[in-house]
Structure formats: C-alpha cells, structure tokens
Amino acid sequence: MVGKKIYQWVLPLLALALLQGCGFQLRGAIALPSHIAPVYIQGLGEYDDLRLELTQIFSFSDIQVVTDPQAAASTLKISNRSSDRRVLSVDGNGNVAEYELHEGARFSLVATDGTVLVEAQPVNTITTYLNSETEVLGKQQEEGSLRRDLRRDLASQIMRRLQAQL
C-alpha cells in the first residue's frame, strides 16, 4: 500500500523534472523582455481575431496587455491589415477549382518615450484550398477554419520576430 502511494507521487514528479530539463514550454509562450510590459495594441478593433490571438500569446508570455495607451510601457502598432481571397485555378467549365487565402499586416513596437524598439515590417501568411461545387457549406466552414489558422500563424510570426529583435 505504501509502495503504491510512493509511485503515485514519484512518477508524476519524475515526469515533470524530465520535461523541465528538456526545455519544454507551453505552446504559445514566447520569452519576451519584461521592460516592454504592459503593452497596448494599436490599430486593431477590440474584438478583432488577430488582436485576440496576440493578447493570448502575450498573456502566455506573462506580458500584460492594456486597453489604455497611457498605462502602457510600449505600443504594438498594427497597420496595413489585409485579408484576401483570390482565384488560383479554374476547371474546364470556368468554375473556380482552387482559391488562395492571404492574411497580412505590418507591425512595429514603440516605447512610450517614442523610441522604436522594433522597426516596422510586414508579415504575411498564405494557404490554398480546393473548391468543390457540390460541397458549398463544407467549403465555407473550411475557409473559416483556414482563416483562423492563418491569423494564429500571423500572430505567432509577429511574436517570434519581437522575440528575435528584442
């Protein structure tokens, strides 16, 4: 009985120690310097999907996002936000066979004193999907899912660049 209780505690602790030693960290957590916190995100609406993704990654990284620019130590400026869909190919009947989806933005990070911490630079993500004339509803749902993935990837690119340049 005592041996069983020891295994209940020792095995999870051993697993945690191994994960800690291998450099494991939660997905989405980015190591950012604490002097940029708190951060204000400018250029995106309060409920914009990209803003929500960025806010989530910042929170995973222990960086607070504020809604008042006066309370921020730095401002993440997002501009030139784009979301496009273009025809990539058509079939023999002239129907769209394949679409290309694009999500893009331009970002920079500026301290409250006006010092540019990260220069303005573009980020883009692109993917394609096949269009079926018979599965219209399913393709609309697929496009929505792909757009969410593209925005998540766009937010991750921004965060990785911030990490690399800070």
Q: Which helix (H) or strand (E) holds 164?
A: helix 136-165
Please give the model's pTM, rounded to 2 decimal places: 0.77
- Look at residue 24 in the predicted model and tell me its pLDDT: 46
- Look at residue 7 in the predicted model and tell me its pLDDT: 63
- Look at residue 138 in the predicted model and tell me its pLDDT: 77
* Integer Cα distance of 153 and 151 in angstroms: 5
* Integer Cα distance of 72 and 160 in angstroms: 21
For residue 23 the two structure tokens come to: 């450099």
For residue 54 the two structure tokens come to: 């960025």
SS3 6: helix
- Look at residue 149 in the predicted model and tell me its pLDDT: 94
Where are the domains positioned within the chain?
Answer: 2-165
Q: Say which residues have a Cβ less than 8 Å from residue 81's Cβ, sequence separation at least 6.
A: 43, 44, 50, 104, 105
* Integer Cα distance of 166 and 63 in angstroms: 14
Q: Which helix (H) or strand (E) holds 1?
A: none
Q: Which helix (H) or strand (E) holds 116?
A: strand 116-130
Q: Which residues of the chain have pLDDT under 70?
A: 1-29, 136
* Integer Cα distance of 132 and 164 in angstroms: 41
pLDDT in tens, 103-140: 999 999 999 999 999 999 999 999 998 887 777 677 78
Total residue count of the chain as it appears in this document? 166
Does CATH place domain 2-165 in 3.30.160.150?
Answer: yes
